[in-house]
Structure 1
Amino acid sequence: MGIVVKLSDSRDTNASLAPLFALVEEDMARVNQFILDKARSNVDLIPELARHLIDSGGKRLRPMLTIAASKLCGYEGDGHQWLATAVEFMHTATLLHDDVVDESSLRRGKTTARLLWGNEASVLVGDYLLGQAFKMMVEVGSLGALRILSDAAAVIAEGEVMQLITANNTDTTEDDYLAVIEAKTAALFAAAAEVGAVIADRPKSEAAALRSFGRNLGVAFQLVDDALDYSGEQSELGKSVGDDFRDGKITLPVVLSYRRGSAEDRRFWERTLKQGEIGDDDLQTAIDLIAKHNALADTMERARHYGAIARDALAIFPDGDVKSALLGAIEFSVNRPY
C-alpha cells in the first residue's frame, strides 16, 4: 500500500474559515431553523430522509456565501436568510440525486440515503427539497434572485448530464472537464454569491464581481475535491478514497495523467475506467501514475489559479471584516484537507 499524501494542514485551513463562521453565525442560526421547518411534511419519510443528510455535518459554505455577500453589499432585511436556505436545499437535492447516479455508499462519513431508503425515495425527496427551495425564492419577492437561482438549477442539471456523458470516456479533454465542473459545482457557488448583490439592489458591476468570485471559488473547490480523491484520508473526506476512480469518473488528475502517460499507462486507464475492469491493486496503480506525471500537483496549481481570480473579483469592494471573511473562504477552499 502506498503512502497517502496530505495536501494541507487541517488546523490552518479550518482557521481560515473562522472569520466567516463568526460573521454569519446569527444569520445561519435562523437559516438552520428554516431548514428544519421547511423539511417538514405530513409524509413521514420526507423529513426523516432529509434530516439524515441535513444533519450529516456539511460545512454549508454555499448558504454562508449568500449571507456574507449580502452583508458585503449592505443588505438590510431577512430575505438573505430565505435565499440562503433555498441555496442549501438546492445543494442537498443535488447530493441526493448525485448519490443515486453515482451509486455512492458514503456521504460525509454516513451511509447514503439511497442505501437506507432506496433510489426512488432519494430522488423524490430531492425533488421535494427543490420545490421548497423555489417556494422560498418566491416568498423573498426578488425576481432577479429567482431568475439567478432558477438558471443555476437548470445549469446544474445540465452539468449532471454532461458528467454522465464524460464518465468512463478517456478521450475527455481538460476543457470538457472544466465545462462539467463549471456547470455542476461552480454555477451554484456563483448564484449563491450573486444574489447577495441583487437583493441589496447594488449596481450590475457588483453583482458581476460576486458572480465571478463565486464561480471561480466553485471551480477551485471542485478541483481540490477531485485531487483529494486520490490523496486524502477516508476519515477526513467522509467517503472512501478512490470513489471517483471506482465510479469511472474522469477528473482532472486522470485527464492529465492519461495525456502525459505512455501507451502502457493509457492502456491501464482504458482498462480500468473505460472498460470498468478494476482489480484490487489498481487504485494504488492509479495513485502512482498520477504522482508519476505530476498530475496531482498540477491540479492543485490550477485550483490556486482559480482562487486567485476569485480574490481579484473582490477587489472592487472596500476592505473590512466581510471581505476578509470571504477571502478566508478562498483560502479554505484551495487548501482544505477534506
Structure 2
Amino acid sequence: HKLSISVELLHNASLIHDDIIDHDETRRGQPSFHVAYQQWFDYNLAQTSQQKDFGVTMGILGGDYLLDMGFEPILSSNFAANIIKKAVAYYQQAYSDIINGVLFETYLQNLPLKMVSEKDYLAMIEGKTSALFEKSILIGALIGDKSERDKSLLSEFALLLGKAFQIRDDILGVFGKKKKLGKPIDSDIREGKKTLLAIYANKKDKRLQNLLGKPEITEKEIKTVKQIFKDTKALENTKQKALDIVNQARNILDKIKFTNNIKQFFSDLIDFVQFRDI
C-alpha cells in the first residue's frame, strides 16, 4: 500500500542527513546525495570553490524535503481519520526518536571511549535505528487492526530487531566489502564511533583509545584496529550479542497471532538481519 512509502521517504531522509554527519561519500554504490550535488556544482560552475557548501546545503534541504513528502501518503490515504491521525503521530515520533538517537551518538562520539558503556550504546541505537523499525511495524499493525496486546509485542519485537540490525551493520562497517555494501568501509574507525566492537575491545586493549577517531589515521593503523577487534574477541562477542537479540525477537514473534504468510514474512526478516553477509 502507498502508505508504506511514507516510512521509506523518512528512512531516506535520515540517510541523506547521516551521510553528511559521517562525511560518507557513497551510498548504495553511488555518490551520496550531498556528494552528487557537489559533483554537479563542480561540473557546471567549476569557476567557484563553493561546491562542498553547496552539496551540504542541498543535502540538508533535500533530506528535509523527503521528510515533508513522507506525510503526504498518510494524509492522502483513504483510511479513517483516527487511523490517519495515529499514523501521523507514529511518523512524527519515529523522526523525533531518530534525531534523539543521532544526537546521543554525537555526544558519545566526543566522550573518551572508556566512559561509554554497552548500555549507552544500546540506548543510542534504540533511537537511531530501532525506532524506525518499530514505528513502521506499528503503522502496519494499526491498519491491520491488531489488538493492543499484539501491538505491544510487535513494538518489543521491532525494537529488538532494529538493535540486532544496527549491531550487524556496525560489524559490516568494519569487516564488510565496500563493493557489496555500497558504502564506505572503515568510516566508523575514522570517525571514532563508539560501536559495540570498540566498547568490548577497549576493555582488553587500551591502544584503541588512541587510535579510534585519530586524525589522519593511516591504513596500517586501521588494520591494527581491526586486528584488535579480533584478538580481544570483540568481534566474536559482538556477533554473539546480535544473535542473542535475534533469538529474543524470535521468541516474541512466536507469541503474536498472525496468518502463516505474515508470520513467514517476519521470520524471513529476522533471517535477513541475522545472516547479512559479512
Give the shorter-chain TM-score range. Answer: 0.7 to 0.9
Aligned residues of 1:229 and 1:242 also touching (Cα < 8 A): yes
Q: CA RMSD in A?
A: 1.5
By how many angstroms is 1:236 displaced?
Answer: 1.1
1:166 is matched with which residue? 108
Give the conservation status (yes or no) of the 8 Å contact 1:168–1:273.
Answer: no
**Residues 1:244 and 2:184 aligned together:** no
Match of 1:286 in 2: 225
Correspondence 1:272 to 2:214: no
- In 1, Cα distance between the equivalents of 2:125 and 2:57? 25
Contact 1:152/1:191, CA 8 A, preserved across alignment: yes
* Counterpart amino acid of residue 299 in structure 1: T
SS for the counterpart of 2:215 is coil
Q: Which amino acid aligns with 2:274?
A: V
Q: Secondary structure at the match of 1:88?
A: helix
When structure 1 is superposed on structure 2, of 273-282 and 234-243 the one drifting more is 273-282
CA contact (8 A) 1:195 1:207 kept: no
Alpha-carbon distance in 1 for matches of 2:213, 2:186: 16
Q: TM-score scaled by structure 2?
A: 0.86
**How far off its partner does 1:314 sit?**
1.7
Correspondence for 1:109 among 12, 15, 29:
29
Matched ranges for 1:172-183 at <5 A: 172-183=116-127
State the match for 1:187 in structure 2. 131
Assess if the C-alpha contact under 8 Å between 1:166 and 1:250 holds in 2: yes
Q: Matched residues in 2 for 1:260 and 1:242: separation?
A: 21
| Identical residues among aligned pairs (%) | 31
Q: Secondary structure at the match of 2:9?
A: helix
1:318 Cα deviation after fit: 4.0
SS at match of 1:201: coil
Match of 1:145 among 80, 87, 90: 87
Residue in 2 that maps onto 1:306:
245
Letter in 2 for 1:123: I
C-alpha displacement of 1:138: 2.4
Letter of the aligned partner of 1:187 in structure 2?
Answer: A
3-state DSSP of counterpart to 1:230 = helix
Q: Which residue of 2 aligns with 1:68?
A: none
| CA apart distance, 1:112 | 1.1
How far off its partner does 1:269 sit? 2.2
Q: Residues 106, 99 of structure 1: CA spacing in aligned structure 2 closer, same or farther, 3 A cutoff?
A: same
Aligned pair partner of 2:270 in 330, 333, 336: 330
Over residues 72-105 of structure 1, what are the superposed CA-to-partner deviations in whole Å (9 max), with x where a residue is unaligned? xxxxxxxxx2331000000000000001111111
> Aligned runs of 1:1-338 on 2, under 5 Å?
81-117=1-37, 118-140=55-77, 141=81, 142=83, 143-169=85-111, 170=113, 171-261=115-205, 266=206, 268-273=207-212, 275-315=214-254, 316-318=256-258, 320-337=260-277
Give 1:122 shift: 0.9
Q: 2: CA distance between counterparts of 1:305 and 1:149?
A: 29
Deviation at 1:273, TM superposition (A): 2.5
Q: Which amino acid aligns with 2:87?
A: A
Distance 1:122 1:248 in 2: 23
CA offsets per residue over residues 260-294 of structure 1, 9 Å max, x none? Answer: 22xxxx2x322222553512311100010000111
User: Do the aligned partners of 1:168 and 1:275 also contact (CA within 8 Å) in 2?
Assistant: no
Please report how far the alpha carbon of residue 183 of structure 1 lies from its aligned counterpart in structure 2 after TM superposition: 0.3
Q: Is the deviation greater in 122-131 or in 198-207?
A: 198-207
The whole-number CA distance in structure 1 between the counterparts of 2:258 and 2:213 is 50
Task: Supply the AA of the counterpart residue of 1:211.
Answer: S
249-258 or 109-118, which deviates more: 109-118
Structure 1 residue ranges without an equivalent (≥5): 1-80
